[in-house]
Amino acid sequence: MKIYDISVTLSDRTPIYPGDPRIEIVPESRISAGDSANLSTLRFGSHTGTHVDPPFHFVSNGATIDRVSLYTLFGECLVCRIDDPDSIRVAELERADIPDGTKRIIFKTRNSDLWESPAFAETFVFLNPEAAEWLIRRGLQVVGIDYLSVDPFKSATHPTHTALLNAGVAIIEGLDLRGVPQGTYTLACLPLKIAGGDGGPSRAILIEDRE
């Protein structure tokens, strides 16, 4: 068995979506300063780094992060490589031979290399709205991508988010797929259980069964 950690490390060098709260990790007590324990204050947005978008993110009466089933976010998952440098389109999905019955899919694109820079990249590969509808028709329950949004930067209407979340599809954003080959794995993605949460920072892993 091999475990791939596909989570982004949170630090002051982690790219954040423009307008989101910046990441602050502030030491409050330190053993080295004579305190009895090490303790820090954390401050960052609910859509920072690797995170899950529940329906409530863009659907006013949608399920919040504490109501997203962990059965949805755990199980067999396909990592699908997409070479289009601009977006994930229906034509690419049709060529990918995605097996019937696939419930979870994560897209590996050129985005993964963007994590090497602390600066936010405005031109990242996004999921085309028509491709999102194609995935919904195929019965997908989870869609993941290797940067901070499934919609293009400065999208006015967020059509991909809206389509997926209205259909009850959980979105995982901010994945780091460097070093992860295309293939089938077991996904385990555990968002923080935030009451009424519109997003859930997560630790996500892929498990490869080598037996």
* Residues tagged active-site: 57
DSSP 55-78: GGGT-TTSPPGGGS-TTTTEEEEE
**Minimal CA–CA distance to 167: which of 191, 193, 132, 198?**
132
User: 154 and 183 in contact (C-beta within 8 Å)?
Assistant: no
Q: Where does the chain have alpha helices with state H? A: 90-95, 129-137, 159-166
Instruction: For 79-116, give one letter per residue: b (16+ CB within 10 A) or e.
Output: bbebeeeebbbeebbeebebeeebbbbbbbbbbbebbe
How many of the other CB atoms lie within 10 Å of CB of 134?
Answer: 17
